Amino acid sequence: MIELHGYGNLILQGSWLTVKLGLTSLIVGLIFGLLGATAKLSNIWILQKIAQIYTTVVRGVPELLVVFAIYFGGGIIISAIAKSMGYHQRIDIGSFWPGVVALSFMFGAYATEVFRMAVQALPKGQWESCQSLGMSRFQTFWRIILPQMWVVALPGLGNLTLVLLKDTALISLIGLHELTYVTSRAGQTTQEPFTFAMVAALMYLILSAVITALIGAGEWYVNPSARYAKKLHKGAKI
């Protein structure tokens, strides 16, 4: 039995904070990704360029620098805005929301390309057919393209979600008491860094296994043809 020296409860709290950080970043990141893909696929030149710059910059800069830039830069911007409005007290933006913004910003850049390729993988004739029926581009995307897009995009988004979970460890460097931060401090205090590193690794593996199972269930849910094929296969065996 691993001796946690009384840090078990803190590790569970840190794990829960990691889950909240990852889940919130995933939701916001999906919105960034959908907006980025929509901009790239639009006919408006300026939106295409903004989305291109966004994905190029984020994918070309180390993730840790993105976290630091948003954390420190966000604090400077918020303080400057507050001073311009006559508020001169110190403003503490914390670590959670800057971490969410940083992780979402990075996730969204990669999700943009996943969504874009998923939409482009669908037959173009569907757009033309919907247009001939009098549907607007928004109606076509929302009712026809989006449901099919998830079937193609979900495996790629699943991989990005696993990467996002591991990237939550970067937020420990700006002071958020998530799983990596707690286990690192526990290892330093008890002089048993290897033990607590293994505990952190085990917790990440458990969370990854849960995410993998949810992704598999999601792929099964959004792909009715796979469910129908499996039913036929079972019927053939009988």
Closest CA to 51 of 108, 107, 102: 108
Note the pLDDT tens digit of each residue in 76-104: 888 888 888 887 777 788 899 999 999 99
For the chain, give the DSSP string.
----TT-HHHHHHHHHHHHHHHHHHHHHHHHHHHHHHHHHHSS-HHHHHHHHHHHHHHHHS-HHHHHHHHHHHHHHHHHHHHHHTT--S-----SHHHHHHHHHHHHHHHHHHHHHHHHHHS-THHHHHHHHTT--HHHHIIIIIHHHHHHHHHHHHHHHHHHHHHHGGGGGGGT--SHHHHHHHHHHHHT-HHHHHHHHHHHHHHHHHHHHHHHHHHHHHH-HHHHHHHHHHHHHH-
State mean pLDDT over 142-157: 84
Q: What are the Cα distances from residue 56, in Å, to 52, 156, 189, 222? A: 6, 18, 41, 30
Residue 3 resides in a domain: no
> Confidence band (pLDDT; 50, 70, 90) for 171?
very high
Predicted local confidence at residue 234, as pLDDT: 56
**Does the pLDDT value for residue 133 go beyond 90?**
no
**Does the pLDDT value for residue 182 go beyond 60?**
yes
Q: Residue-wise over 19-54: b if at least 16 C-beta within 10 A, else e?
A: bebbebbbebbbebbbbbbbbbbeeeeebeeebeeb
Q: How far is CA 64 from the centre of its chain?
A: 16
| N-term to C-term CA, the chain | 48
Q: What is the CATH number of the domain that holds 34?
A: 1.10.3720.10
| Chain mean pLDDT for the chain | 88
- The answer to whether the pTM exceeds 0.75 is yes
Residue 1 resides in a domain: no
Residue 114 resides in a domain: yes
Residue 154 resides in a domain: yes
Predicted local confidence at residue 225, as pLDDT: 62
Question: Which one has a higher pLDDT value, 145 or 111?
Answer: 111
Note the pLDDT tens digit of each residue in 8-49: 999 999 999 999 999 999 999 999 999 999 899 888 899 999
Predicted local confidence at residue 125, as pLDDT: 80
Q: How many domains does the chain have?
A: 1
Residue 93 resides in a domain: yes
> Confidence band (pLDDT; 50, 70, 90) for 231?
low
Q: Are 17 and 179 in contact (CB under 8 A)?
A: yes
- Residue 128's domain comprises 8-237
Residue 61 resides in a domain: yes
